[in-house]
Amino acid sequence: MSVLTGLDVLAGESFARLRGRKVGVLAHPASVDRALRHLLYLANEAGVEILSLFGPEHGVLGDAQDMEHVLEGEHAVDRLTGARLHSLYGSSEASLRPTPAMLEGLEVLVVDLQDVGARYYTFAATMVYAMEAAAQAGVEIMVLDRPNPLGGELIEGPPVDPAFTSFVGAYDLPIRHGLTMGEYARLMRARLSLDLELSVIPMRGYRREMDFEATGVPWVMPSPNMPTVDTAWIYPGMCLFEGTTMSEGRGTTRPFELLGAPWLDGVAWAQRASRHGLPGVILRPCYFTPTFQKHARTRCGAVQIHVTDRALVRSVRLAVVLLSAAIALEPEYFGWRAEAYEFVKDRLAIDLLFGSAGPRLALEGGEDPDAIVDGFAENERRFREERAAHLLY
């Protein structure tokens, strides 16, 4: 039997928990049931009164590219429900949080967001920002839980230094945290001591070791550059390449699986990285030409990451190995992204993504990549202990 998501469970109850209440919804295109019907349509059919609709990064429609501001007019409304439309990814850092005016009149804010299990995939941070605002406004948060595409067992990555807090490191979690959105909400309510009424509608039939395909839940792109579950499996590590001047494959049909730059020799890169042993993946040298973003319309020497065994993939370690190899091969050409990143101008994007300057400095100093990754182990152990009390599955 297929896993029932929180939305499937709620719809199976004919939305009884929401009827007669004044409701806000935080959703995106992947907020669908197992028949691919969107939460908004299902709730509207059931007679739920939706007053406000909130969109995270990429927007409610999911058509905006990364870091592309989504602006809603003062009187913008959803044509189906008549709900007020609010963007939680506008032109300033302040736009990331719901204002008291946005929450006015609501009794409950329903959160239904498909996440991909990586700390810097911003939907979880948006959810917690909404939780903090809802606690101040006396609004209940109801999270409709969904699978973590990476399963819920493995944890990877360093801590977030408070000096490097940002939208991609809003809270101190490892890069790959192994939580569902419902578990994430439970953990953060406790950690932040929020005086918040939080209800999580858990999934039925879900086990933490499940691959996404094993759940039977349909995959809908939660963002423009997350086209497949394969992408999600390597995203926690390969998103680090956003912090470099290399292309992370945006502007191709396989973002994050393709990595490269015009100055790169893909054969040499694959060979050097593979010396470290890369269980679960094969690096295939290739070329690609991005249609937009970094190195648009310029041919890039590259590798494509082919996952051969998901159980063995450690994408954060893989990324550190690949970064180390790229720096060693082409130190004159390799560079870190220096432009403003997620509203931050005074710190490097790579440091925001790692959560501190430490890993970058170690890479620049030529430290062995496995030694760098071994340094994450204590943080991973501590987080595993902290999260245990908040797991649902």
Q: For 336-361, write each residue's pLDDT tens digit.
A: 999 999 999 999 999 999 999 999 99
* 329-359: b (≥16 Cβ within 10 Å) or e: bbeeebebbeeebbebeebbbbbbbbbbbbb
Determine the average pLDDT of the residues in 20-42: 97
Among 199, 220, 241, where does a domain finish? 220
- Indicate if 267 and 164 belong to the same structural domain: no
Instruction: Look at residue 155 and tell me whether its pLDDT is greater than 60.
Output: yes
At 319 the pLDDT is: 98
At 74 the pLDDT is: 57
**Residue 391, C-beta contacts closer than 8 angstroms, at least 6 positions apart:** 152, 179, 183, 208
Determine the average pLDDT of the residues in 229-249: 98
The mean predicted confidence, pLDDT, of the chain is 95
- Residue that has been written with the tokens 């996440």 in this structure: 115
- Indicate if 337 and 250 belong to the same structural domain: yes
CATH number, domain of 110, equals 3.40.50.12170
Residue 387 lies in a domain: no
- Indicate if 120 and 244 belong to the same structural domain: no
Neighbours of 286 (CB within 10 A): 15
pLDDT band at 60 (very low <50, low <70, confident <90, very high): confident
pLDDT band at 2 (very low <50, low <70, confident <90, very high): confident
- Indicate if 207 and 240 belong to the same structural domain: no
Residue 393 lies in a domain: no
- Indicate if 283 and 339 belong to the same structural domain: yes
Distance in angstroms (rounded) separating the CA atoms of residues 214 and 21: 35
- Indicate if 108 and 193 belong to the same structural domain: yes
Q: Which amino acid is at 304?
A: Q
- Indicate if 270 and 210 belong to the same structural domain: no
Among 185, 220, 255, where does a domain finish? 220
Its domain, for residue 331, covers 229-375
Count of structural domains within the chain: 2
Q: pTM for the complete prediction?
A: 0.95
Instruction: Look at residue 153 and tell me whether its pLDDT is greater than 90.
Output: yes
pLDDT band at 78 (very low <50, low <70, confident <90, very high): confident
Residue 207 lies in a domain: yes
Residue 249 lies in a domain: yes
Instruction: Look at residue 333 and tell me whether its pLDDT is greater than 60.
Output: yes
- Indicate if 233 and 216 belong to the same structural domain: no
Q: How far is CA 23 from the centre of its chain?
A: 25
Write the pLDDT tens digit of every residue in 259-305: 999 999 999 999 999 999 999 999 999 999 999 999 999 999 999 99
Among 220, 243, 274, where does a domain finish? 220
Q: Helix 181-191 to helix 377-387 angle, to the nearest 10 degrees?
A: 90
- Indicate if 171 and 277 belong to the same structural domain: no
